[in-house]
Each structure stands twice: as structure tokens, then as C-alpha cells.
């Protein structure tokens, strides 16, 4: 996460991004769905169904669509052009979708879109926790909106829900323990002591978002709905583990999951299989242990050890 340090000056001074900037327009796009309003909808292990021969992974809800950067960009271009026309000659505006050097959540709270919750994510009273953020920085001077105030109250469900205790205190997150960081941002080996808590998650984690009471008021996201990729929600882990480089790129083209690259995703798949797999997963893991990518091979060996250890314990207790 060294990029945070590299862009620190721009994050604290927007004029480092656009000279003579006078306003920042903050936007939110909902990606909620009917099931995302129910915190228990994915609480059960989908692999526990009687007669289910598959080992299923779990991806964060936002990754179950075409890449939101591309989808939202189409609307942002049009809105940015409108602002430039509104301001007249000499007006300049730049748009960003979760990529600009801005303190997005702070800006969104100041703009009245929502408030930063105890899990450190933005919560909207109308859209719940399931939102993407975007910004347009412009030289056009606009009247500011009223900021939103924090409305968490005494609720601490998100702290209790975090599988790795990454939310160390209200409004404080240790990113090094966060499953979203571990499965997406981290490029190297996942710390051994945190692997069991990852469960069958292979890309991100929604636990702290899903338990928030404000999701009761969330609306289904219309813009993202037509870009849904339901097959990404709970993919077959053994199928994923068999992907070569070309197969990986083909399967995840145009989705956020392409970001982890094959080495990162298959690393995560190995950890998930180590947590939920049984001896039937060993042949696939044995092949993965011979993968030319050391990161995949190391996590495959760990997964094999975990499965074999559980098998030995089961045999002892019989």
C-alpha cells in the first residue's frame, strides 16, 4: 500500500491535482441487491449442503459485476462535460472512479452522501453500505451541500463481525489483518496465522458491511444491475485451481477480479480449499503444488497439510 504515501500531498491538497480547483462533486452508485439487505443470506457455508460435491468460494458482492470503473466511467464522462459547459470557456474538470488521490470517504461525508462508520467505510442512510464512490474535481465554483453526521450510535456489530479482528477499535482498521487487503491488495504470501479465518473467501470480504443495520433501507442498484455476473458469486474452487494464464484472463476479463492476477487468485483458492476441502481436493492441490508460480505452490502445500491434518484427527476420533 505504498501508493498511499506516494500520493499523500495530493490527498491533502486537491489543487495539487487540478490547479485553481474550487469544487469537488462527490457521487455514490449503489450496487445493492435484495439478498444484500439480509446479513444472514450468506452466513451459511454453501459447501455444507447435503450431496453438494463442490467446494465453493465466496467473493465480495461488489466483484459480482462487470468492472465498476468501466461502468461508472461512462456516466462520469457525460457529467464532467456538462460541468465544463455549465462553467463556460476555461472551466476544467477531472473525474475519478475510486482511483484519484482523494480522501474519498471524508469528502463524501463532507458532501452529505453518508457518514464514515465504525468499520471505516461510508454508510448512506438511503443506500446502506453497498456503494461505489466517484469524484469530479472542477474549477467551477459550486455551493456546498450540508455534511452528514455520524449515525452509528452505540452499535458495534461491525467490530464483532470481523473474522480477523481487523477493526481494532471504532473507526480504526488494521489493514494488514483485513481479508479484503489480504486477498486483493497483498501481493505476497498470506500470513499463516490469518489463513484459517479467511474461510472460503477468495476475493474480498463483506462481513462488516453486511451486519450494518442501515442496510435495511438500502435500494437495489439500477445502474449496476444490468452488469451483474452471478456466476462470480460462489465459483467452484477446483475449477478455478485448474485455470492456466489464458483461462484466468478469459474467465475474469472485464471484472474487478482480474486485478489479483492468476497468482493472487489461485493463492486465495488454495487457502479456501485448505479451510473447507477434504481429501477429494488433494489431487488438484498436488498439481497446484507443482505450479511454476512459487506463491501458488506454497499455499497449495499449506492447504494439503491442513486437509491431511483434519483427516488424521477425524481418524483418531473414530
Residues classed as catalytic: 98
User: Which residues are CB-neighbours of 173 under 8 A, at least 6 positions away?
Assistant: 119, 120, 166, 167
Residue 127 · residue 30 · CB < 8 Å:
yes
3-state DSSP assignment of residue 105 = helix
3-state DSSP assignment of residue 296 = helix
Helix axes 294-317, 261-276, angle to 10 degrees: 0
Strands of the chain (E only): list them.
23-30, 58-59, 93-96, 115-116, 122-123, 131-138, 167-169, 172-173, 201-203
Nearest Cα neighbor of 273 from 249, 245, 305, 316 is 305
**Dist CA 24 CA 95 (whole Å):** 10
Nearest Cα neighbor of 161 from 32, 39, 276 is 39
What are phi and psi for residue 162, nearest 5 degrees? -65, 120
Residue 307 · residue 282 · CB < 8 Å:
yes
The per-residue DSSP string of 181-229 comes to IIIII--SPPPGGGHHHHTTEEE---HHHHT-GGGGGPPPPHHHHTTB-
As given in the structure block, the three cell numbers for residue 272 are 479456501
Q: Identify the burial level of 34 via C-beta atoms within 10 angstroms of its C-beta, where 0-12 means exposed, 13-18 middle and 19 or more buried.
A: exposed
Nearest Cα neighbor of 239 from 53, 65, 60 is 53
Amino acid at each position: 500500500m505504498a501508493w498511499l504515501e506516494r500520493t499523500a500531498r495530493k490527498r491533502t491538497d486537491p489543487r495539487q491535482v487540478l490547479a485553481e480547483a474550487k469544487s469537488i462533486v462527490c457521487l455514490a452508485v449503489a450496487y445493492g441487491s435484495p439478498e444484500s439487505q439480509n446479513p444472514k443470506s450468506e452466513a451459511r457455508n454453501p459447501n455444507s449442503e447435503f450431496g453438494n460435491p463442490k467446494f465453493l468460494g465466496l467473493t465480495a458482492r461488489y466483484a459480482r459485476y462487470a468492472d465498476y470503473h468501466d461502468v461508472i466511467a461512462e456516466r462520469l464522462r457525460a457529467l464532467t462535460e456538462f460541468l465544463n459547459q455549465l462553467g463556460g470557456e476555461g472551466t476544467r474538470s477531472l473525474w475519478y472512479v475510486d482511483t484519484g488521490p482523494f480522501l474519498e470517504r471524508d469528502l463524501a461525508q463532507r458532501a452529505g452522501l453518508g457518514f464514515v462508520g465504525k468499520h471505516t467505510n461510508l454508510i448512506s442512510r438511503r443506500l446502506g453500505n453497498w456503494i461505489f464512490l466517484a469524484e469530479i474535481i472542477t474549477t467551477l465554483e459550486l455551493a456546498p451541500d450540508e455534511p452528514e453526521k455520524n449515525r452509528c450510535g452505540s452499535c458495534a456489530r461491525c467490530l464483532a463481525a470481523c473474522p480477523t479482528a481487523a477493526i481494532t477499535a471504532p473507526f480504526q482498521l488494521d489493514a494488514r489483518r483485513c481479508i479484503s487487503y489480504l486477498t486483493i491488495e497483498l501481493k505476497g504470501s498470506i500470513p499463516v496465522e490469518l489463513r484459517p479465518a479467511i474461510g472460503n473467501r477468495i476475493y474480498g470480504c463483506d462481513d462488516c458491511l453486511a451486519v450494518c443495520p442501515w442496510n435495511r433501507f438500502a435500494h437495489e442498484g439500477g445502474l449496476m444491475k444490468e452488469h451483474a455476473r452471478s456466476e462470480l458469486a460462489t465459483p467452484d474452487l477446483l475449477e478455478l485451481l485448474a485455470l492456466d494464464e489464458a483461462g484466468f484472463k478469459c474467465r475474469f476479463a472485464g471484472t474487478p477480479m482480474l486485478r489479483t492476477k492468476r497468482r493472487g487468485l489461485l493463492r486465495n483458492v488454495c487457502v479456501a480449499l485448505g479451510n473447507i476441502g477434504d481429501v477429494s481436493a488433494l489431487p488438484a492441490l498436488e498439481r497446484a503444488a507443482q505450479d511454476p508460480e512459487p506463491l501458488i505452490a506454497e499455499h497449495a502445500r499449506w492447504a494439503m497439510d491442513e486437509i491431511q491434518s483434519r483427516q488424521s484427527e477425524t481418524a483418531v476420533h473414530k
